[in-house]
Amino acid sequence: MKFMLDDMELIFPYDKMYPEQYNYVCDLKRSLDAHGHCVLEMPSGTGKTVSLLSLIVAYQHMGRPERKLIYCSRTVPEIEKALAELKRLMQYRSEVYGIDDGDFLGLGLSSRKNLCIHPSVRQEKKGKAVDARCRDMTSAVAKQRHEQDPGSVELCSFHENLGELDQDHLVPHGVHTLEDVKAYGQEHGICPYFAIRRMFIHASVIIYSFHYLLDPKVAEQVSKHMSKDSIVVFDEAHNIDNVCIESLSIDLTRPMLDTAARCVDKLSETIEEMKAKDASVLEDEYRRLVEGLQAGEDGAEDEDFMSNPVLPQDLLQEAVPGNIRRAEHFTAFLARFVEYLKTRMRVLHVVAETPLSFLQHLRDITFIERKPLKFCSDRLSSLLRTLQLTRLDEYSALQKVAAFATLVATYHEGFRLLLEPFETDNATVPNPVFHLVCLDASLAIAPVFERFSSVIITSGTLSPLDMYPKMLRFDATVLESYVMTLTRDCFLPLVVTRGSDQVEISSRFEVRNDPAVVRNFGTLLVEYARAVPDGVVAFFPSYLYMESIVSAWNEMGILNEVLKYKLIFIETPDAVETSAALENYRRACDNGRGAVLLSVARGKVSEGIDFDHNYGRAVIMFGIPYQYTESRILKARLEFLRDTYRIRENDFLTFDAMRHAAQCVGRVLRGKTDYGLMIFADKRFAKVDKRNKLPKWIGQYIKESDTNLATDVAIAHSKRFLRMMAQPFEQSTKSLWGIDEILDKQRGLDPERDVNEDALALEAEAEAIAAAHAEAEAAAAADDEAYTAQQAHEQNGYGDEDVAMGENGGDDDPFKEIDDAALAAMDMPDLPQPPHFMGFGDDAEADMHGGGFELPMPPQEFQMGDGEDDDDQGLVLPMPPPEFL
């Protein structure tokens, strides 16, 4: 499909377009034209990704190639899906124009683990192990050692081959998925990960994870060369505030501090060995540090593991404080700081403090100043490079302590330190955790808004939209939530508030473990397992609650009842186990056995896993997924939001819970040809304040009669809905537009009218015109008949007879003169006389000159002359005062 959108030619790779997609691209273009930011909520399954890519690629081809697209998503499957859509779009553009766009390059980036093709390294199961081995085989230190002593260090041949190629043509132009780049790397013997990173500067579209732009350590290495005119898109960004907070938060445990202390001892030993072997290396480092950190970081662009978490560019120009320039002085400094943290963890009560109070206490106890702490992370990175150490993953604990020191010394506002000695309130064995918590989500994303002119935040569950500009501190050019146009209501949201025994159901803390509530939840699951074909997905507020519910169901025999109809799979915190459960769940749905998947809100299944068609015919949300309100970290954040942004605690908690509930139930619908049930199983969903925070596209289909249902009534509604969905149907112009409907929309017509409606309208218009013609003909006939009758009446009737009678002087002559005497004799009332000045003149001269009214004379000064003087000019005006003469 090709059409003009204002002054731009838009190529859309499908023959039809949803109305939501057209409105979406219109608002998106309006935001880009204004060089502003926007928040757009698009219904699930309505082609948000392809609409966005089509608009921005057309925008680039309109003469704005400098506006690159940086597309950020959350998971690897979503990155792959976006790359596949971009590839299809560019192929379609080539078919439309008949030429290939040879300069266009679209790339995606993922972790080393997902892109590594080295035979031995890719066998590692953990991502940290893959990263460590990759660094050891690709670092400048390893290459230098290999040159000095060939064979002493293993190098990655795929990485080395990159240096022999043209750095501007490591990957051919076009759109390449992650699998395409891996296959190209295997064929040509080059590393896919570093090839993609080095080609970023030439790419028109870049697709990667949120962390490559929001995490300061990674963003400084990966995204620092991006143009300021680039367009940044955060897709599935409903929890972007949590990503920002996590990127600047650090947790320290006692085992981590013990490991960091051992790392400090190992560094001290290595420094002594270096002094004995070649002291000039340490002296050269000291001289560089005197000049400034920037000079010491040259050539370290690939060491993202050791990047500074917060240091701004201007601070890097400063010289490192003198008390940590020497390597041995810095290790002593680190040892003292680690020992201080270990001492703080010996308390048995909760401690909450601000960074300023922490720094003051640190200074009083250890005499450590704030400024050296700011440089702690970069000084450690410099030392590790100087000592030419390998297996840097062994120093991850020490690197985290250094980042902790840098953060706590850099930021004062928006951070809080919390020391919790026990894992839970009921625990008796201490397991202390020192939290450095970022409370202000705007800190991590502020550089993005300042650097790039257009930032787009989009998802299917962003309501209420005004919450994001408040929390992230930016001004939005466009804030829009789109409704969902459907030919048939293909999803049915139901609010179940009570069981068949009329006992209210809820996940509130007071009643969540009530046997009646647990039994009603189980009965609801059994009934839907019996009534719904294929797959059913159930979500719980937390892993702990799901474990307790499943255990109780097992004792009640409810799980055995479910197994009569479907298999049961359970999501766990372990990613490998969850992936296996998902694979088996899909297999059970495909072979007709059917399955139930028990999952957790905010888990892996609720974020980015699609249950389209037979994989999800019903989603049940057991309870409202509120966060654990007794969490001290959550309490600190709620206090910060209240004091800083005037956001009430209950408003934020409800907003957070409802966006995750909508994210869960939205998994059931992945297109307008799909269908499914959305079951909200909690009496609190019936409240208006909860339903108003659901996305508009869900709320518009919640009927008031479906907001307070018992289990048996909900099952009856669901069965009727499933029978209706089994009937064949065709998409109408209400929910699917062709080029004609789009042109009608641009001309100001209503494109959502149906073809049958158009025919009826034309038929009604024709009938109205015919009726008007018939009425006009009837009126003309009546006029002709009246005229004919009048003519006959004039010839044979009253007019001629009157004339004849007048001529004959008959008594009935209408023109006979009336006798004046008879008229005078009539009793006529006397009319009042007019005033004198309006009366007729009494004299004959006045009557001779026309009589009429006598008007009063004007004042003397305005009277006309008396006529005696021929030079009289008419009005005699009074003389002005002497001073004006």
Tell me the pLDDT tens digit for each residue of 181-217. 999 999 999 999 999 999 988 899 999 999 999 988 8
Whether residues 63 and 184 fall in one domain: yes
- Kind and range of the H or E run holding 619: strand 618-622
- Any idea which residue has 């439309």 for tokens? 96
Q: What is the pLDDT of residue 416?
A: 95
Does residue 27 fall inside a structural domain?
yes
Q: Which residues pair with 454 in a beta bridge?
A: 231
Select the more confidently predicted residue: 716 or 830: 716
**410, 425, 457 - which closes a domain:** 410
Q: What is the pLDDT of residue 777?
A: 73
Whether residues 303 and 400 fall in one domain: yes
Does residue 470 fall inside a structural domain?
yes
Q: What are phi and psi of 491, to 5 degrees?
A: -140, 150
Residue 367: domain span:
250-410
Q: What is the pLDDT of residue 285?
A: 87
Q: What is the pLDDT of residue 427?
A: 80
Q: What is the pLDDT of residue 301?
A: 46
Answer yes or no: is pLDDT of 801 > 50: no
Whether residues 461 and 524 fall in one domain: no
Answer yes or no: is pLDDT of 512 > 80: yes
Q: How many Cα atoms within 13 Å fall on the side-chain side of residue 537?
A: 33
Answer yes or no: is pLDDT of 328 > 80: yes
Q: What is the pLDDT of residue 775?
A: 78
Q: What is the pLDDT of residue 751?
A: 66
| Per-residue pLDDT reduced to its tens digit, 107-116 | 999 999 999 9
Burial of 279 (0-12, 13-18, 19+ CB in 10 A): exposed
| Per-residue pLDDT reduced to its tens digit, 341-353 | 999 999 889 999 9
Q: What is the pLDDT of residue 536?
A: 96
Pairing relationship of beta strands 351-353 and 415-420 according to DSSP bridges: antiparallel
Whether residues 585 and 686 fall in one domain: yes
The SS3 of residue 427 is coil
Q: What are phi and psi of 467, to 5 degrees?
A: -70, -35
The arithmetic mean of pLDDT across residues 319-329, rounded, is 88
Estimate the crossing angle of helix 140-148 against helix 127-138, to 10 degrees: 50
Q: What is the pLDDT of residue 534?
A: 93
Q: What is the pLDDT of residue 74?
A: 87
DSSP state of 303: -
Q: What is the pLDDT of residue 610?
A: 84
State the average pLDDT for the chain: 84
Does residue 9 fall inside a structural domain?
yes
Answer yes or no: is pLDDT of 554 > 90: yes
Answer yes or no: is pLDDT of 230 > 50: yes
- The two tokens of residue 385 are 């490079």
Q: What is the pLDDT of residue 799?
A: 43
**What percent of the chain lies above the pLDDT cut of 70?**
83
Does residue 489 fall inside a structural domain?
no
Answer yes or no: is pLDDT of 601 > 70: yes
Q: What is the pLDDT of residue 797?
A: 47
Does residue 28 fall inside a structural domain?
yes
DSSP state of 707: S
Q: What is the pLDDT of residue 852?
A: 44
The SS3 of residue 387 is coil
Answer yes or no: is pLDDT of 564 > 90: yes
Whether residues 476 and 342 fall in one domain: no
Confidence bin at 163 (pLDDT 50/70/90): confident
Amino acid at 863: Q
Whether residues 181 and 306 fall in one domain: no
Q: What is the pLDDT of residue 815?
A: 42
Confidence bin at 800 (pLDDT 50/70/90): very low
Q: What is the pLDDT of residue 149?
A: 81
Select the more confidently predicted residue: 780 or 477: 477
Of 60-64, 366-370, 609-613, the poorest mean pLDDT is in 60-64
Select the more confidently predicted residue: 735 or 366: 366
Whether residues 241 and 254 fall in one domain: no
Answer yes or no: is pLDDT of 859 > 80: no
Answer yes or no: is pLDDT of 119 > 80: yes
Q: What span, in angstroms and rounded, lies between the C-alpha atoms of 107 and 100?
A: 17
Whether residues 109 and 45 fall in one domain: yes
- 34, 333, 472 from 466: Cα distances, Å: 20, 46, 11
Answer yes or no: is pLDDT of 320 > 90: no
Q: What is the pLDDT of residue 492?
A: 95
Q: What span, in angstroms and rounded, lies between the C-alpha atoms of 209 and 82?
A: 12
Confidence bin at 596 (pLDDT 50/70/90): very high
Q: What is the pLDDT of residue 81?
A: 92
The arithmetic mean of pLDDT across residues 794-821, rounded, is 44
Confidence bin at 756 (pLDDT 50/70/90): very low
Q: What is the pLDDT of residue 140?
A: 80
Whether residues 192 and 337 fall in one domain: no
Q: What span, in angstroms and rounded, lies between the C-alpha atoms of 541 and 533?
A: 25
Answer yes or no: is pLDDT of 879 > 80: no
Q: What is the pLDDT of residue 766?
A: 60
Does residue 415 fall inside a structural domain?
no
Q: What is the pLDDT of residue 857?
A: 61
Answer yes or no: is pLDDT of 873 > 60: no
| Per-residue pLDDT reduced to its tens digit, 829-838 | 454 555 444 4
Does residue 670 fall inside a structural domain?
yes
Whether residues 388 and 509 fall in one domain: no
- The two tokens of residue 391 are 């297996």
The arithmetic mean of pLDDT across residues 700-720, rounded, is 94
Q: What span, in angstroms and rounded, lies between the C-alpha atoms of 306 and 316?
A: 15
Confidence bin at 847 (pLDDT 50/70/90): very low
Q: Which of 17-26, 423-432, 835-844 has the highest mean pLDDT?
A: 17-26
Confidence bin at 307 (pLDDT 50/70/90): low
Q: What span, in angstroms and rounded, lies between the C-alpha atoms of 607 and 798?
A: 98
Whether residues 395 and 475 fall in one domain: no
Does residue 808 fall inside a structural domain?
no
Task: Classify 244 in phi/psi space as left (phi over 0), alpha (psi -120 to 50) or beta.
Answer: alpha
DSSP state of 833: P
Give the chain's length: 885
Of 378-387, 423-432, 835-844, the poorest mean pLDDT is in 835-844
Of 469-483, 758-772, 789-803, the poorest mean pLDDT is in 789-803
| Per-residue pLDDT reduced to its tens digit, 494-506 | 999 999 999 999 9
Q: Which residues pair with 457 in a beta bridge?
A: 39, 234
Answer yes or no: is pLDDT of 762 > 70: no
- Any idea which residue has 């893959």 for tokens? 130
Answer yes or no: is pLDDT of 840 > 50: no
Select the more confidently predicted residue: 398 or 876: 398
Q: CATH number for the domain including 181?
A: 3.40.50.300
Confidence bin at 809 (pLDDT 50/70/90): very low
- The two tokens of residue 735 are 């929910």
| Per-residue pLDDT reduced to its tens digit, 644-673 | 999 999 999 999 999 999 999 998 988 888
Whether residues 711 and 619 fall in one domain: yes
Helices (H), ranges, 368-466: 370-374, 376-386, 396-410, 442-451
Quote the number of domains for the chain: 4
Q: What is the pLDDT of residue 306?
A: 58
Q: What is the pLDDT of residue 614?
A: 92
Q: How far does Cα 22 stand from its chain's mean position?
A: 17
Select the more confidently predicted residue: 882 or 49: 49
Answer yes or no: is pLDDT of 18 > 50: yes
**What percent of the chain lies above the pLDDT cut of 90?**
54
| Per-residue pLDDT reduced to its tens digit, 693-705 | 999 999 999 999 9
Q: What is the pLDDT of residue 868?
A: 43
The arithmetic mean of pLDDT across residues 559-578, rounded, is 94
- 33, 69, 82, 456, 798 from 36: Cα distances, Å: 8, 15, 23, 9, 87
Answer yes or no: is pLDDT of 635 > 90: yes
